C-alpha cells in the first residue's frame, strides 16, 4: 500500500492506495482514519484500485483550521479523483463518510459507480446529540485529547456490547485511533458533522446511483430507524441491518461487510463500470 498526498479545498489529504482496476474510495467516521478499512482493502485490492482516505484533519491529513461544509467534503473527493486521473469511483463511507457519500452521489452523479453508506444519517442532529458532542469536545480540549474519562464514552459511542465483550482487538483499535486525534481538528470536524449537520433528505432524493445503506443493530449513535429513514430518502436504495454491529460495521464485522459489498456489486453488474 502506497501513500499519496493530494492538495484540496480542505488542506492536504493523505491517501493509502493499493491494487488496480476500477476505483473504490473509502471515507471513515469522525475520529478515525483510513486504516478503519484495512480489512476491506485486503479483500478488494486484487480487483480494484483501493483508495483509503484519511479525512480532513485526521490521521496523516493536514490539520483543519476551521469548520467545513458537506459540499466541501464532496469537492475533496472530486479533487482526489482528479489528482489520480480517475473518472469515477465506487464510494464506501462510514458515518461521516456515509453522509458525504450521499452528498457526493447527489452532486456528482457522473463520477460515482455504486455507493455503500454505513452507520449514517441524512437528518440533522437532535438536541441531545448536539449537547453530548459539545461536552465531549470541550472536555477533550481541557484534557488535551481523548484520554482518561473520555475513553469509555467515546468507545461506547462507536462500539456495542458484542464488540466490547467479544472483540478486544476492535476495542484496542478504536482506543488507539481516538487517542491520536488532533483535538483542534477534531473539534472543527465534530462541529461540522454534528451541530452544523444539514438535513440532506431532500438532496438525497436526487440520487440516481445504486445505493446500499447499512445500519448496525447495536448502533446507539445512529440507530437502525434513523439510518432506515436515510435509506427511504434515496430512490431505490437497499437497506440492511447487521444485528451484531454498532457504529463501525466495517471494523466490527468485516467479513459480513465485505460480503455485502461483493453481493451488491454483483447485483448491480458493477464489478466494472
What residues does each domain of the chain span?
A: 2-124+198-268
How high does pLDDT run on average in the chain? 93
> Superfamily for 2-124+198-268?
Alpha/Beta hydrolase fold, catalytic domain (3.40.50.1820)
What residues have CB less than 8 Å from 103, skipping those under 6 apart? 70, 71, 73, 74, 200, 203
Q: How confident is the model at residue 269 (pLDDT cuts 50, 70, 90)?
A: confident
pTM: 0.94
pLDDT of 272:
57
Q: How confident is the model at residue 155 (pLDDT cuts 50, 70, 90)?
A: confident
Predicted confidence (pLDDT) at residue 160 exceeds the cutoff of 90: yes
Predicted confidence (pLDDT) at residue 273 exceeds the cutoff of 60: no
Gap between the Cα atoms of 229 and 7, Å rounded: 35
Amino acid at each position: 500500500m502506497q501513500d499519496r498526498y493530494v492538495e484540496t479545498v480542505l488542506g492536504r489529504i493523505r491517501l493509502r492506495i493499493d491494487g488496480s482496476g476500477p476505483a473504490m474510495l473509502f471515507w471513515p467516521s469522525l475520529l478515525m482514519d483510513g486504516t478503519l478499512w484495512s480489512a476491506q482493502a485486503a479483500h478488494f485490492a486484487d480487483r480494484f484500485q483501493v483508495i483509503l482516505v484519511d479525512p480532513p484533519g485526521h490521521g496523516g491529513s493536514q490539520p483543519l483550521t476551521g469548520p467545513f461544509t458537506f459540499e466541501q467534503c464532496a469537492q475533496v473527493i472530486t479533487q482526489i479523483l482528479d489528482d489520480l486521473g480517475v473518472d469515477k469511483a465506487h464510494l464506501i463511507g462510514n458515518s461521516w463518510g456515509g453522509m458525504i457519500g450521499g452528498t457526493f452521489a447527489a452532486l456528482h452523479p457522473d463520477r460515482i459507480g455504486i455507493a455503500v453508506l454505513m452507520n449514517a444519517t441524512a437528518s440533522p442532529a437532535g438536541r441531545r446529540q448536539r449537547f453530548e458532542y459539545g461536552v465531549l469536545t470541550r472536555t477533550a480540549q481541557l484534557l488535551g485529547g481523548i484520554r482518561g474519562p473520555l475513553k469509555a464514552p467515546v468507545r461506547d459511542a462507536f462500539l456495542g456490547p458484542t464488540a466490547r465483550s467479544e472483540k478486544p482487538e476492535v476495542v484496542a483499535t478504536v482506543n488507539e485511533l481516538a487517542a491520536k486525534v488532533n483535538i483542534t481538528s477534531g473539534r472543527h470536524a465534530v462541529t461540522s458533522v454534528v451541530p452544523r449537520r444539514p438535513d440532506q433528505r431532500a438532496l438525497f432524493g436526487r440520487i440516481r446511483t445504486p445505493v446500499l445503506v447499512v445500519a448496525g443493530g447495536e448502533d446507539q449513535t445512529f440507530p437502525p430507524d434513523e439510518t432506515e429513514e436515510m435509506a427511504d430518502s434515496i430512490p431505490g436504495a437497499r437497506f440492511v441491518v447487521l444485528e451484531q454491529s454498532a457504529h463501525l460495521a466495517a471494523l466490527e464485522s468485516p467479513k459480513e461487510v465485505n460480503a455485502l459489498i461483493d453481493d451488491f456489486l454483483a447485483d448491480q453488474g458493477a464489478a466494472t463500470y
